[in-house]
C-alpha cells in the first residue's frame, strides 16, 4: 500500500481545502477530512510511507548491531561476553521511548534522527537472542565438524552461525515491528518525528484521527476407531516415495521395518496427518481411529492427534520443549483434550510418570528435559503419548538413540503398557531382533513398497528374499572379517591409556554415559579441557591448544548423527567445498564428485540439502567430508546407531573397504558389541569413564 500510494490515493494528501474542513465520511471522502480539509484516506495511505521507512531504517541498524554483539559474545566468551552483556543489560533496563525522546531532543526532530534514536534502544533483544543461540550452537555437531576441518573465527561466526541466527532474528523483528511502529508514532505524536505537513500516523493521531479494529473468532468440535489403508501413495513433485501400499492394524503390536528411505516414517506421518505440504497423498481408503483421514480438516486432526491416536518420536532431545518443565509438557494433552480440574490433572500426571517407571514423579515434574538421561526422556515422551488413554500408539524409532540395555527396557515398557490398556501399536524400527521379541506381526517395506507381512516369530525363517537378507545382515562375532549381505596414537586422558597401531581399527564400547564420545572429542581436538600426554599421527598435542595445520587435516571425525553434523541451510556441495577452499585446492568440484562415487553415491546428490537425503545417504556424505582432507586417523562416533540393519551393513562394508584400500587408522565408538566384534582388531570396554576390560578380536 505504501509503495502504491500515488496510484491508489484518491487525493493529494497535502492539499488543503478549508471549505471542506471536518467532513463526515462520504462517497467522495471515504474517511472524511481533517481540520485543514485534507482527505483522511489519502493521508492514511501516504502516512504508511514515512512510518515504514522509519521502521526499515531502525531494523537495518538494529539487526546487524544486535547479531554482531550477540554472536561475538556467545562465541568468544570470557571477559568479552561479560562486558558486552553488561552493556546490553544496561540498555535493556532503560525505557526505550524515554531514551529516544532524550536523544531526539539533543539531535533535533526528523526522520533520520528519530530512526537513530530508536535504533540505539532497540538492539538489545536481538543481541541477547543471538548470544543464547550461539551458546547452544557452539556445541552442535555441524559446528564441531566445521572446526574439525579448520574453519574458525570470523568465517565460522558469520559463515555458519549467522545464517542459523537469521531466521529467529527475522521472527524477532516481526514481533518487534508493532512496538517499533508505536514508538515511531509516539515520536510523531509528540512532534519529534516526521515534521508537518508530511502525512505520518503519529502526527495524525495527534490531530485527532482515530482508528478502530475489531475481530471475532470461533471455536469448533469433533468425534471416533484403528488403522486401515488401501492404495496409500505418497509422492513429491519428482519422485514416488510410498507406492500403493495397503494394510490394517487393530488392537495388536505390529512392526514396520525396512532400510532408511524405504518410506516407513512417511507412512507413519501420513497416519497422523503430519506430511509436509510439499508431498501429495492419495489413497482409496485411509481410516484412522474410525475417521476418514482423507477428508479431515486440520481442526479435526488436532482433536484426533494426542487424543485417539498418539505418536512417540525418535529422539526426546529434539521432541521435548527445552523451555518447559516435564510436568507442563505431560499435562498439556489433558488441558487440550480432557475437562479436568488442575488438581485432577496433576494427580493424573503423577500416576502416568509412575506408570512409565520414572522415580519421584513430583520432583521430576519440576525438572527440564536437559536434566534427564536419554532413557528418562524417552519415558517422558511415552507418558505424554499415553496420558489421554489413546486407542492407538505409533512409535517412530523410539529406541535408536539409546544403548542396548536401555532399548530392551523401553520396548518392554511400551509392550506392557500397550497390552495393559488394550491399545494398538505400530512400531517403526530397524532392530529386527527386538522386533521379533516385542511384536506380534511385522510389515517389511523396501523403496516405498510393502514387500512382506509375517508373524514376528517367523522372522528367522522368512521366505521373502529381502526379509531373509535383513535378518542375515546383522553384524556379530560370527561375521568378523566377513562381507555382510547386502598409526600411531598414544593417549592419556582422565586415567585412560590407549595405544593404537597404524592401520588398525580400534573400538571403544560401553553403555551410554560411560565416556566414549567424550574421549573421542578429546582425540578430535574438540574438547580442550583435558590433562596428560597425547600424541596423534606423530604430533605432540598440548592440553588446551586447538589443532592446526597438518594435524587438523590428518585427524577427521564422522559424527553420530549425520543430519545434525551437516549444516541444514547449506547445500552439501558448499559444505564439502569450504575446507578445500581454505586449503586452496584445485578442481574442488571434481574431487567432491569423485568422493561421492567412492562411497557409492550419485554426484548429483551434492547439490541437495541434508534433509533431502535418507539417513544412510547422509552418513555416506559425512564419510566423504572426512575423507576429502585425506586424513591418517578417522574417528567414528556411533556411525551406525541411527541406521537400519541393511544400511548399517552397507556402511560397515564401506568402512572395511576404506580401511583396506587407504590404510586408514580408525577409532570406532559404539554401544553395540556386535558392531565392535565385526569391525575392530582390538577394543576396550569402558564404564564410568574408565577402561575396565581389554577385548581382542
Q: 54 and 122 in contact (C-beta within 8 Å)?
A: no
Residues 250 and 311 in one domain: yes
Q: What is the pLDDT of residue 490?
A: 38
Question: Does residue 281 sit within a domain?
Answer: yes
Residues 83 and 122 in one domain: yes
Average pLDDT value for residue range 70-95: 84
DSSP letter at 10 equals S
Question: Does residue 345 sit within a domain?
Answer: yes
- Provide the CATH number for the domain around residue 446: 3.40.50.300
Parallel/antiparallel/unpaired status of strands 682-687 and 488-493: unpaired
Measure the N-to-C terminal CA separation of the chain; round to a whole number of Å: 74
Question: Does residue 17 sit within a domain?
Answer: no
Instruction: Tell me which of 15-24, 72-81, 389-398 is least confident.
Output: 15-24
Residues 334 and 386 in one domain: yes
Asked if pLDDT for residue 391 goes beyond 70, the answer is yes
Q: Cβ neighbours of residue 97 under 8 Å, at least 6 residues apart?
A: 183, 186
Split at pLDDT 50, 70, 90, the class of 567 is: confident
Q: List, for residues 465-516, the tens digit of each pLDDT value.
A: 788 878 877 776 766 766 666 533 333 345 777 788 888 888 888 877 677 8
Distances from the Cα of 98 to the Cαs of 62, 102, 104, 205, 282, in angstroms?
18, 6, 10, 19, 59
Q: What is the pLDDT of residue 193?
A: 64
Beta bridge pairs of residue 634: 556, 666
Question: Does residue 104 sit within a domain?
Answer: yes
Average pLDDT value for residue range 304-313: 83
Split at pLDDT 50, 70, 90, the class of 220 is: very low
Q: What is the pLDDT of residue 485?
A: 62
Residues 181 and 47 in one domain: yes
Question: Does residue 496 sit within a domain?
Answer: no
610: helix, strand or coil: helix
Residues 123 and 245 in one domain: no
What is the CA angle 160-162-168, rounded to 5?
Answer: 125
Last residue of a domain, one of 155, 182, 210: 210
Residues 423 and 542 in one domain: no
Q: List, for residues 630-678, the tens digit of each pLDDT value.
A: 888 888 888 777 667 777 787 788 888 878 887 788 888 887 788 888 8
Residues 237 and 188 in one domain: no
Residues 271 and 400 in one domain: yes
Asked if pLDDT for residue 537 goes beyond 50, the answer is yes
Residues 361 and 393 in one domain: yes
Positive/negative CA dihedral, 315, 321, 324, 328: negative
Q: How many domains does the chain divide into?
A: 3
Q: List, for residues 185-200, the tens digit of each pLDDT value.
A: 766 666 666 666 667 6
Question: Does residue 481 sit within a domain?
Answer: no
Mean pLDDT (the chain, rounded):
79
Average pLDDT value for residue range 553-578: 85
Residues 231 and 205 in one domain: no
Instruction: Tell me which of 220-234, 364-378, 442-456 is least confident.
Output: 220-234
Asked if pLDDT for residue 573 goes beyond 60, the answer is yes
Q: 564 and 140 in contact (C-beta within 8 Å)?
A: yes
Share of the chain above pLDDT 70, in %: 84
Residues 291 and 199 in one domain: no
Asked if pLDDT for residue 346 goes beyond 70, the answer is yes
Last residue of a domain, one of 153, 181, 210: 210
Q: In whole angstroms, what is the distance from residue 193 CA to residue 109 CA?
A: 6
Question: Does residue 25 sit within a domain?
Answer: no
Q: What is the pTM of this model?
A: 0.49
By CB atoms closer than 10 A (0-12, 13-18, 19+), residue 480 is middle
Split at pLDDT 50, 70, 90, the class of 141 is: confident
Query: What string of DSSP letters covers 615-683?
Result: HHHHHHHHHHHHHHT--SEEEEESTTTTS-HHHHHHHHHHHHHHHHHH--EEEEEES-HHHHHHH-SEE
Q: What is the pLDDT of residue 658?
A: 79
Last residue of a domain, one of 157, 184, 210: 210
Q: What is the pLDDT of residue 217?
A: 33
Parallel/antiparallel/unpaired status of strands 534-536 and 690-696: unpaired
Asked if pLDDT for residue 287 goes beyond 70, the answer is yes
Q: In whole angstroms, what is the distance from residue 617 CA to residue 647 CA?
A: 9
Residues 444 and 344 in one domain: yes
Question: Does residue 221 sit within a domain?
Answer: no
Q: What range defines the domain where residue 102 resides? A: 40-210
- Provide the CATH number for the domain around residue 136: 1.10.3720.10
Amino acid at each position: 500500500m505504501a509503495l502504491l500510494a500515488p496510484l491508489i490515493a484518491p487525493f493529494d494528501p497535502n492539499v488543503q481545502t478549508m471549505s471542506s474542513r471536518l467532513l463526515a465520511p462520504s462517497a467522495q471522502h471515504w474517511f472524511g477530512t481533517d481540520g485543514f480539509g485534507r482527505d483522511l484516506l489519502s493521508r492514511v495511505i501516504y502516512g504508511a510511507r514515512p512510518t515504514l521507512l522509519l521502521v526499515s531504517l531502525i531494523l537495518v541498524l538494529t539487526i546487524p548491531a544486535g547479531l554482531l554483539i550477540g554472536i561475538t559474545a556467545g562465541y568468544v566468551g570470557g571477559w568479552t561476553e561479560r562486558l558486552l552483556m553488561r552493556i546490553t543489560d544496561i540498555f535493556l533496563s532503560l525505557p526505550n521511548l524515554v531514551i529516544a525522546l532524550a536523544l531526539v531532543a539533543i539531535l533535533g526532530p526528523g526522520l533520520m534522527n528519530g530512526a537513530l534514536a530508536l535504533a540505539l534502544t532497540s538492539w538489545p533483544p536481538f543481541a541477547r537472542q543471538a548470544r543464547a543461540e550461539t551458546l547452544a550452537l557452539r556445541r552442535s555437531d555441524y559446528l564441531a565438524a566445521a572446526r574439525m576441518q579448520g574453519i574458525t573465527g570470523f568465517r565460522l561466526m558469520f559463515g555458519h552461525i549467522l545464517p542459523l541466527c537469521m531466521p529467529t532474528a527475522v521472527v524477532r523483528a516481526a514481533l518487534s515491528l508493532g512496538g517499533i511502529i508505536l514508538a515511531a508514532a509516539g515520536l510523531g505524536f509528540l512532534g519529534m518525528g516526521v515534521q508537518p505537513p508530511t502525512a505520518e500516523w503519529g502526527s495524525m493521531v495527534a490531530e485527532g484521527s482515530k482508528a478502530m479494529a475489531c475481530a471475532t473468532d470461533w471455536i469448533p468440535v469433533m468425534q471416533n476407531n484403528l488403522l486401515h489403508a488401501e492404495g496409500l501413495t505418497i509422492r513429491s513433485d519428482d519422485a514416488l516415495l510410498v507406492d500403493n501400499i495397503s494394510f490394517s492394524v487393530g488392537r495388536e503390536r505390529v512392526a514396520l521395518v525396512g532400510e532408511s528411505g524405504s518410506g516407513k516414517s512417511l507412512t507413519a506421518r501420513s497416519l497422523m496427518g503430519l506430511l509436509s505440504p510439499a508431498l501429495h497423498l492419495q489413497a482409496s481408503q485411509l481410516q484412522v481411529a474410525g475417521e476418514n483421514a482423507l477428508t479431515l480438516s486440520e481442526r479435526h486432526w488436532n482433536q484426533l492427534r494426542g487424543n485417539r491416536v498418539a505418536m512417540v518420536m525418535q529422539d526426546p532431545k529434539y521432541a521435548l520443549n527445552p523451555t518447559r518443565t516435564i510436568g507442563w509438557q505431560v499435562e498439556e494433552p489433558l488441558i487440550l483434550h480432557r475437562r479436568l480440574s488442575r488438581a485432577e490433572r496433576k494427580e493424573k500426571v503423577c500416576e502416568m510418570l509412575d506408570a512409565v517407571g520414572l522415580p519421584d514423579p513430583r520432583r521430576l515434574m519440576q525438572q527440564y528435559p536437559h536434566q534427564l538421561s536419554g532413557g528418562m526422556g524417552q519415558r517422558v515422551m511415552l507418558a505424554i503419548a499415553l496420558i489421554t488413554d489413546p486407542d492407538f500408539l505409533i512409535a517412530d524409532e523410539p529406541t535408536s538413540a539409546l544403548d542396548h540395555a536401555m532399548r530392551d527396557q523401553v520396548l518392554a515398557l511400551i509392550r506392557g503398557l500397550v497390552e495393559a490398556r488394550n491399545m494398538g501399536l505400530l512400531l517403526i524400527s530397524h532392530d529386527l531382533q527386538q522386533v521379533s521379541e516385542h511384536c506380534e506381526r511385522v510389515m517389511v517395506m523396501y523403496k516405498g513398497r510393502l514387500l512382506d507381512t509375517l508373524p514376528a516369530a517367523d522372522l528367522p525363517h522368512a521366505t521373502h528374499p529381502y526379509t531373509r537378507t535383513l535378518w542375515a545382515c546383522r553384524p556379530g562375532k560370527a561375521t568378523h572379517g566377513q562381507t555382510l549381505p547386502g598409526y600411531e596414537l598414544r593417549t592419556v586422558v582422565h586415567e585412560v591409556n590407549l595405544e593404537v597401531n597404524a592401520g588398525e581399527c580400534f573400538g571403544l564400547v560401553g553403555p551410554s554415559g560411560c565416556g566414549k564420545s567424550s574421549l573421542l572429542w578429546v582425540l578430535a581436538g574438540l574438547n580442550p579441557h583435558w590433562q596428560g600426554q597425547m600424541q596423534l599421527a606423530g604430533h605432540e598435542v598440548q592440553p588446551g591448544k586447538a589443532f592446526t595445520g597438518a594435524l587438523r587435516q590428518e585427524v577427521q571425525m564422522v559424527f553420530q548423527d549425520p543430519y545434525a553434523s551437516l549444516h541444514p541451510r547449506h547445500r552439501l556441495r558448499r559444505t564439502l567445498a569450504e575446507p578445500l577452499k581454505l586449503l586452496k585446492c584445485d578442481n574442488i568440484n571434481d574431487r567432491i564428485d569423485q568422493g561421492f562415487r567412492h562411497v557409492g553415491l550419485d554426484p548429483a546428490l551434492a547439490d541437495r540439502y541434508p534433509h533431502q537425503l535418507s539417513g544412510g545417504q547422509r552418513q555416506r556424505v559425512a564419510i566423504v567430508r572426512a575423507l576429502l582432507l585425506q586424513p591418517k586417523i578417522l574417528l567414528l562416533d556411533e556411525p551406525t546407531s541411527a541406521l537400519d540393519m541393511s544400511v548399517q551393513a552397507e556402511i560397515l562394508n564401506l568402512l572395511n573397504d576404506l580401511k583396506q584400500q587407504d590404510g586408514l587408522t580408525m577409532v570406532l565408538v559404539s554401544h553395540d558389541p556386535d558392531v565392535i566384534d565385526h569391525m575392530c582388531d582390538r577394543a576396550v570396554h569402558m564404564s564410568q569413564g574408565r577402561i575396565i576390560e581389554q577385548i581382542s578380536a
